């Protein structure tokens, strides 16, 4: 595997490879760490992993998986290390990328200990309203990273679709779920799992209680200066899964939800992950969301080879669907 933080070197390698090689696939696993580009709209680095066998001069898809360190740290190097592992070694996203021969983008978003309630890796309310340059509107930063990655891939003769695949597990699943509400127009298909049983809901109220972001849509227009695109969201093919033994419950912790949000969820959706998962499924089906729901027996807050294989098959089917 090729690791480098020098984008110029890899771009030179890509251009040379694309012009001089007669093969139609990318020959080596390669990992690029792309520097932040504030003038282009992203204040953090990102990783672009290109697996061996990625087709050249043929349209494919870019897979995006948000980073999830699993803890806070004021050292961006800690978050970078975990993001590199996610991109190149240990994640469902890496399995999908490697098996389907599609490039993978992983942002290196911070999750600072100095701001423990700002749960960046789950795209919570605190980060959406944060005004600091580094953390401001991580969703928009990710959009700009995607645009930048497409430019790099195009230089390497790797053409990707205008829409992306998205994947996530645990906090990155929550990020992906919330991102899909804000920017449904950019997502071709998505797979999420291990998300504490709690999905963002396509409703403004539940049991007469107003649902603000990130629980629902009540203040969506005020926060994002646009209306929720229900039609786009409902057409996104989604593979949504939980382990039946998964009792990992971020809802009960202050970094994930405020006291008000926690009470609202516990009182109206359920006080444990499995009850909430069942209720969220019911609500999504009532709204005709294009989601496949799957529960895995004897699986907790982790994935298995069977889980990974089903996610791979799900995305493969989407690649074959025009």
- Within a domain: 217: no
Percent helix / strand / coil, the chain, rounded to 5: 40, 15, 40
pLDDT the model gives residue 322:
67
pLDDT the model gives residue 154:
95
According to the 3-state scheme, what is the secondary structure of 115-154?
CCCCCHHHCCHHHHHCCCCCCCCHHHHHHHHHHHHHHHHH
- Within a domain: 102: yes
Query: How far is Cα 310 from Cα 192, in angstroms, rounded to an integer?
Result: 12
Least-confidence region, from 15-29, 73-87, 177-191, 219-233: 15-29
* Confidence band, pLDDT 50/70/90 cuts, at residue 6: very low
- Within a domain: 139: yes
- Within a domain: 280: no
pLDDT the model gives residue 90:
73
% of the chain beyond a pLDDT of 90: 89
CATH code of the domain in which 52 resides: 3.40.50
- Within a domain: 266: no
- Within a domain: 259: no
| Number of domains comprising the chain | 1
pLDDT the model gives residue 23:
53
- Within a domain: 85: yes
Query: Does 5 score more than 50 pLDDT?
Result: no
pTM of the model as a whole: 0.93
User: 63-64 and 104-107: which strand pairing?
Assistant: parallel
Query: How far is Cα 270 from Cα 53, in angstroms, rounded to an integer?
Result: 45
φ, ψ for residue 162 (rounded to 5)?
A: -65, -30
Query: Does 220 score more than 70 pLDDT?
Result: yes
Across the chain, mean pLDDT equals: 92
Query: How far is Cα 195 from Cα 171, in angstroms, rounded to an integer?
Result: 6
- Within a domain: 82: yes
User: 46-50 and 104-107: which strand pairing?
Assistant: antiparallel
95, 98, 103, 107: CA torsion to nearest 10: 30
Locate all alpha helices (DSSP H) within 156-218, ordered by sequence: 171-182
27 or 182, higher pLDDT: 182
Range of the domain at 157: 2-191+232-240+294-319
């Amino acid at each position: 595997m090729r690791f480098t933080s020098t984008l110029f070197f890899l771009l030179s390698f890509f251009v040379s490879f694309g012009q001089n090689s007669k093969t139609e696939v990318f020959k080596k696993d390669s990992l690029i760490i792309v520097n932040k580009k504030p003038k282009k709209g992203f204040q953090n680095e990102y990783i672009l992993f290109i697996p061996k066998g990625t087709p050249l001069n043929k349209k494919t898809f870019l897979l995006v998986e948000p980073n999830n360190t699993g803890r806070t740290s004021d050292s961006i190097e800690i978050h970078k290390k975990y993001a590199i592992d996610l991109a190149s070694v240990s994640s469902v996203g890496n399995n999908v990328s490697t098996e389907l021969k599609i490039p993978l983008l992983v942002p290196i978003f911070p999750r600072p200990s100095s701001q423990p309630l700002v749960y960046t890796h789950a795209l919570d309310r605190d980060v959406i309203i944060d005004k600091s340059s580094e953390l401001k509107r991580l969703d928009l930063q990710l959009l700009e990273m995607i645009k930048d990655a497409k430019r790099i891939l195009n230089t390497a003769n790797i053409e990707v679709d205008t829409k992306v695949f998205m994947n996530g597990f645990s906090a990155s699943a929550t990020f992906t779920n919330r991102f899909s509400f804000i920017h449904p127009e950019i997502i071709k298909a998505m797979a999420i799992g291990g998300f504490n049983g709690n999905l963002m809901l396509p409703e403004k109220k539940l049991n007469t209680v107003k649902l603000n972001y990130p629980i629902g849509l009540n203040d969506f227009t005020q926060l994002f200066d646009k209306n929720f695109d229900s039609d786009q969201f409902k057409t996104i093919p989604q593979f949504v899964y939980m382990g039946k033994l998964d009792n990992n419950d971020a809802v009960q912790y202050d970094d994930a939800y405020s006291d008000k949000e926690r009470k609202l969820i516990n009182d109206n959706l359920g006080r444990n992950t499995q009850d909430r998962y069942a209720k969220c499924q019911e609500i999504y089906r009532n709204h005709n969301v294009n989601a496949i729901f799957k529960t895995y027996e004897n699986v907790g807050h982790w994935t298995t080879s069977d889980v990974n294989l089903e996610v791979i098959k799900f995305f493969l089917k989407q690649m074959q669907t025009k």
